Amino acid sequence: MNENRHTNLQPDPFRIAFLIAGFIRQSLTEAEHDELDVWVNDSDHNMLLFEDLTNEDNLEANLAWMDNIQAKQSLDQLLAKTKLVRSPRKKQPVYWVAAACLLGLLGFMINYYYHSGSKNKPGESSQASTRLAGSNKHTTLTIGDQSINLSDVKTGGLALMPGTLITKTADGALVYGNNNVNTGTLHTLATPVGEQFKLRLPDGTIAWLNAASSIRFPPSFSGVDRTVSVTGEIYFEVAKNKALPFRVALPDSSLVTVTGTHFNVQAYAAEATATVALLEGAVHITTAGGEASLQPGMMGTIDNRQVRKTAIANEEAITGWKEGLFVFHDSRIEDIMQQLEHWYGKPVVYLSKTRQLFNGTIARTEPLEKILNLLELNGYVHFTLKNNSIYVLP
C-alpha cells in the first residue's frame, strides 16, 4: 500500500472520524483513501477499531452504550454541532445532519479509545482475544471406512482401535501416543473450509492443518522412515530422529524429506504450484524433474516438476494462519483471494486484476464482507458477492 506523509503524525481522532465517515458514505478522494489506508494498517489496534466502527450493528450498539452514559448530553451536543454545517442561506438536506451525527459519533468513539487506551469496544470483549481460526465443528478423522466428526468426541481417550492410544485434549487437539500396533490401516485427518486443527503424530511431530487440508498417516511409525501424505496447507514441527527420516508426500508426487525441522507446506491439489517454506533445520525436496535443498529462511516453489528457491520475505505471512490471522506482506491480489477462497469456501471470478501489492493483518474470525471492504480501502480493486462467488472488479 502507498506510503503517506500522515504516517508519522499523531492521529487526530476527528480527522480519522472524518475519513471513516467518508468511507461509510463512499465519498473519499483517492488521497483520503490512501491516508485512511495508512492509518488502518499502522497497528492491529487501528485495524480492529476500524472494523468495529464500520460495522452497522456496532454503530447501533455504540449509540446504545452512549445512551447508558449521559447519552442525552452527548447526542444533544452532536445535534448542536450539526447546525454548524448548515448554510445560513439554504437549508441542507437531512442526510447532512445524519452525516454530522455519524461524524460526531465516530469522533467520540475514537477519542474514547485513544484516551482510555482500551482496545475493546465498550461493553464487549476485544476481537484480538478471540482470534481463533476454525470452530472445528466438522473436522473428521477417517480410519478405513469409519469417519468420525471430532466435534462429537468428548475430551479424553478414544477407544477406536485395540492397542492404539488416541486422545482429544481440552483445547481440541488430537494426540496419538507412541503406539506399537500398526494394522496397515492409514488414518486421515481432514479439515473443511473455515476450520483448522492441531495434531500430534505418534512420533511426537506436531502438525497444524489449515482450512481444506488433509493428512494421511499410520497409527505408528515403523520401518525405515516416517511418511505422511498431505493436501492443502500444513505447518510441521518434526520430532528429531536421524535414524528415521520424516517424509511428506505431496499431491504431485513430490517428496519433502527432513530429520527434525519446522516448515510450512502449501500443496492444494487443484493448484498448479506448491510451496515449502523452511523456518528451522533442513529440508530436501525431490520432484520428478529434479532435487533441491533448503536452508532456514528459504522457500521452494514447485512448478512444472521443478523447484525454484527464493528467500522468505516475511515469516509472519507464512505462519500467521496458525494464529488465526491473515497476514499480507506485499501480496498480490491473486494470492490474497486464494487464501480467502480456502477459508470462506467461495470461488473467485476475476473481471479485473491489479498489480498493486497489499499489506495488512486481519483476524480470520472476521466476516468475508468486512475483509473485502478493508481490501477496497486503497481504491485499486473492488468486489461484489454474487451467486456464492467473489467477483473482483476494477
Where does 137-225 show beta strands of DSSP type E? 140-143, 146-149, 156-158, 166-168, 174-176, 187-190, 197-200, 206-209, 214-217
Whether 80 shows a pLDDT value over 80: the answer reads no
Is residue 251 packed enough to be buried (19+ CB in 10 Å), middle (13-18) or exposed (0-12)?
middle
- Mean pLDDT, rounded, for 255-266: 94
Secondary structure element (H or E) that encloses residue 223, with its range: none
Cα–Cα distance, 368 to 365 (Å, whole number): 9
Per-residue model confidence as pLDDT tens digits over 93-115: 333 334 444 555 555 555 555 54
Phi and psi, residue 251, nearest 5°: -60, -30
Strand partners, 206: 200, 237
Is the CB of residue 231 less than 8 Å from the CB of residue 274?
Answer: no
The gap from C-alpha 357 to its chain's centroid, in whole angstroms, comes to 17
**Residue predicted with more confidence, 51 or 352:** 352
Query: Which whole number is the average pLDDT over 277-291?
Result: 94
Of 241, 242, 244, 285, the residue nearest 263 (C-alpha): 285
- Output 164 or 348, whichever has higher pLDDT: 348
Q: Could you give the CA distance from residue 324 to residue 382 in angstroms, rounded to a whole number?
A: 25
Portion of the chain with pLDDT greater than 70, in percent: 73
Comparing 67 with 169, the larger pLDDT belongs to 169
Q: Side chain identity at 115, as an amino acid letter? A: H
Q: Mention every residue, 6+ apart, whose C-beta is less than 8 A from residue 335.
A: none
Query: Residue 162: its pLDDT value, please?
Result: 64
Across residues 63-85, what is the average pLDDT? 43
91 by Cβ neighbours in 10 Å (0-12 / 13-18 / 19+) ranks as: exposed
Instruction: Decide: 317 and 329 in contact? Cβ < 8 Å.
Output: yes
Asked if the model's pLDDT at residue 256 lies above 60, the reply is yes
Q: For residue 284, what pLDDT is reported? A: 96
What's the alpha-carbon Rg for the chain, to the nearest Å? 25
Q: Do residues 167 and 177 lie in contact, with contact meaning Cβ atoms separated by under 8 Å?
A: yes
Question: What is the predicted pLDDT for the residue at 158?
Answer: 78
pLDDT at 120 (0 to 100): 40
* Predicted structure pTM score: 0.68
| DSSP letter assigned to residue 366 | S
Q: What is the pLDDT of residue 109?
A: 54
pLDDT digits (tens, 9 = 90+) for 285-328: 999 988 999 999 999 999 988 999 999 999 999 999 999 999 99
Which has more pLDDT, 334 or 125? Answer: 334
Whole-number pLDDT of residue 28: 80
Amino acid at 210: N
In 3D space, the residue among 122, 161, 128, 119 whose CA is nearest the CA of residue 142 turns out to be: 161
Q: What is the mean pLDDT of residues 13-26?
A: 74
**How confident is the model over 21-56, as pLDDT tens digits?**
777 767 788 888 888 888 888 777 777 777 777 776
Which pLDDT belongs to residue 131? 29
Stretch 344-348: mean pLDDT, rounded? 94
Is residue 129 predicted with pLDDT exceeding 60? no
From 71, 121, 118, 79, select the one nearest 98 (Cα to Cα).
79
Q: Check residue 13 and give its pLDDT.
A: 63
Q: Mind listing the domains of the chain with CATH numbers? A: 13-130 (no CATH), 140-316 (2.60.120.1440), 324-393 (3.55.50.30)
Place of cell 520430532: 239
**Helix, strand or coil, per DSSP, at residue 359:** strand
Give the Cα separation of 24 and 58 in Å (integer): 13
Q: What is the mean pLDDT of the chain?
A: 78
379 φψ region: left (φ > 0), alpha (ψ -120 to 50), beta (else): left
- Among the residue ranges 121-135, 201-215, 222-236, the one predicted with the least confidence is 121-135
Burial of 242 (0-12, 13-18, 19+ CB in 10 A): exposed
Any idea which of 2-6, 159-163, 174-178, 211-215 has the lowest mean pLDDT? 2-6
Q: CA 40, CA 110: separation in Å to the nearest integer?
A: 13
Phi and psi at residue 134, to the nearest 5°: -85, 165
Cα–Cα distances in angstroms (integers) from residue 76 to residues 66, 79, 81, 83, 104, in the given order: 12, 5, 9, 11, 11
Cell numbers linked to 228 = 505422511
Q: So what's the pLDDT on residue 62? A: 52
3-state secondary structure 316-336: HHHHHHHHCEEEEEEECHHHH
3 state DSSP class of 12: coil
Which residue has better confidence, 377 or 233? 233
The residue written with cell numbers 516453489 in the block is: 301
Q: Is residue 277 classed as helix, strand or coil in its secondary structure?
A: strand
* Closest to 380 measured CA to CA, from 360, 362, 353, 359: 353
Q: Which residue blocks in the chain are alpha helix, DSSP H?
A: 13-25, 30-40, 44-53, 56-68, 71-82, 94-116, 315-319, 333-344, 368-375
Give residue 113's pLDDT. Answer: 55
pLDDT at 40: 83
